[in-house]
Amino acid sequence: MGIYRIAVIKGDGIGPEVIDATMRVLEAVQDVSKGLELKPLYVEAGLECIPKYGTNLPEHSIKLLKESDACLKGPVTTPEEPGSPRSVAVTIRVMFDLYANVRPCKSLPNVPSFKPNIDLVIVRENTEDLYSGIEFELTPGVAVAMRVITWKACERIARFAFKLAMSRRKKLAYVHKGNIMKITDGIFKSAVLKVAQEFPEVEIWELRIDAATMQLVKRPEDFDVLVTTNMFGDILSDEAAQLVGGLGFVAGANIGENYGMFEPVHGSAPKYKGMNKVNPIATIMASKMMLEWLGSKYSDALCLEAAKKIEAGVFKVLKEGKIRTYDFGGDATTTGMAEAIARKIIEMG
Ligand code: NAD
């Protein structure tokens, strides 16, 4: 192996800046990983496509995604008017059945963290829940949204999370609101408890969503793997990101049986567009997760090694503490941070 086609979506707002920064780092890691070749396939998607094609993800873009081995995606702005296109991220997650959204949040060197030893992973079901986007107005001023929850999706996300917990500290928190949504979250709870029987070594911790938001602040170091439904996972992962320094640091993998899409947790932050100011580390860490996934899928040691090199480059720059973007107290630029990480990777070889 060693040669991979990567669909690259630059996205909107700050997307092109954080993706360009990440491409610089990927260039450096290819320089020091002889035989590794990442061929970018640039994919049109996002706001600018809407007036041109009437959609934010045109057919030719979907074709390129299907021809690629994985997707590296910048954040995309989603219009909020009723009837406007669905979020690009949600469309790709559903189209490729990328059912597991995996968001690691870990305290980093020299980055203000709520507690010094946070190391948790949020596993969010990625294909259903209120993100079905099925809404209708019954009569003017009275609207209904459909929360779709299936046993099949709950069981497979639970199994994914338990397997992950087995490779870590063997603790799994499952989060729901079963006291209110007795049927939909009832299915989620039963599925988790059924799958738990296959993993007796994993200690489970049941939390309702309101208590989970509180416990995450009170004792974040006690969380290992946290599994939940789509919307709760979306909200909890922004909270967890802030515990370890903010949205500029946290990446997410969207994983299915045959395809993976990797992106920062943050959105397109339009107010910072074109300022060369935001932190590219979240997207750089997304590319590291992409290499890890490719490495495991194709048993490619070169890819796994390259992922380690990216992480080591990020950690070295953070440890030295000289290059810091505005979000953690510095005035380094997006390109400056990417260049520093790229140079470290090349130095370490
Ligand atoms: P956002 O994540 O874009 O920004 C919120 C705030 O977080 C920013 O104002 C900034 O202070 C901080 N921030 C975000 N990224 C940062 C970075 N890399 N470095 C430093 N600080 C950073 O959230 P929002 O303002 O609610 O959403 C803006 C748009 O992004 C919306 O259109 C939304 O739909 C979209 N969005 C897209 C995705 C995606 O593509 N997966 C995810 C979330 C939001």
Annotated domain spans of the chain: 1-98+247-349, 114-243
Distance, CA of 240 to CA of 144 (rounded, Å): 30
pLDDT higher than threshold 70 for residue 140:
yes
Q: DSSP for 56-114, please give it.
A: SS-HHHHHHHHHSSEEEE-------STTSPPPHHHHHHHHTT--EEEEEEE--TTS--S
Q: What is the pTM of this model?
A: 0.96
Residues linked to residue 4 through DSSP beta bridges, in sequence order: 38
| Closest C-alpha among 135, 145, 103, 132 to residue 252 | 103
Superfamily of domain covering 1-98+247-349: Isopropylmalate Dehydrogenase (3.40.718.10)
3-class DSSP string for 140-190? CCEEEECCECCHHHHHHHHHHHHHHHHCCCCEEEEEECCCCCCCHHHHHHH
Q: Report the nearest-CA residue for atom 23 of ligand 1.
A: 267
The single residue of 12, 20, 224, 234 carrying the catalytic annotation is 234
User: Do 1-98+247-349 and 114-243 share a fold?
Assistant: yes
Q: Average of pLDDT values for 108-130?
A: 95
Q: What is the pLDDT of residue 306?
A: 98
Indicate if 185 belongs to the active site.
Answer: no
| Residues 320, 296 contacting (CB under 8 angstroms) | no
Q: Which of 72, 268, 283 to mutate to test the pocket of ligand 1 (most atoms within 8 A of CB)?
A: 268
Q: Looking at this protein, which amino acid is placed at residue 89?
A: A
Q: Where does residue 282 rank: exposed (0-12), middle (13-18), buried (19+ CB within 10 A)?
A: buried
pLDDT in tens, 145-194: 999 999 999 999 999 999 999 999 999 999 999 999 999 999 999 999 99
Three-point CA angle 9, 130, 196, nearest 5°: 95
Q: What is the pLDDT of residue 2?
A: 83
- C-alpha 76 – ligand 1 centre gap (Å): 9
pLDDT higher than threshold 70 for residue 71:
yes
Indicate if 322 belongs to the active site.
Answer: no
Q: What is the pLDDT of residue 153?
A: 97
Q: What is the pLDDT of residue 82?
A: 86
pLDDT higher than threshold 70 for residue 46:
yes
Average pLDDT, the chain: 96
Indicate if 224 belongs to the active site.
Answer: no
Q: What is the pLDDT of residue 122?
A: 98
pLDDT band at residue 1 under the 50/70/90 scheme = low
Q: Average of pLDDT values for 18-23?
A: 98
Element holding 221 (H helix, E strand): none
Q: Which of 266, 275, 276, 337 to mutate to test the pocket of ligand 1 (most atoms within 8 A of CB)?
A: 266
| Residues 13, 270 contacting (CB under 8 angstroms) | yes
Q: What is the pLDDT of residue 175?
A: 98
Q: What is the pLDDT of residue 133?
A: 83
- C-alpha 13 – ligand 1 centre gap (Å): 9
Q: What is the pLDDT of residue 154?
A: 98
pLDDT higher than threshold 80 for residue 266:
yes
The single residue of 163, 170, 177, 189 carrying the catalytic annotation is 177
DSSP 220: G
Q: What is the pLDDT of residue 34?
A: 92
Q: Would you call 32 helix, strand, or coil by DSSP? A: coil
What number does CATH give the domain 114-243?
3.40.718.10
pLDDT in tens, 274-327: 999 999 999 999 999 999 999 999 999 999 999 999 999 999 999 999 999 999
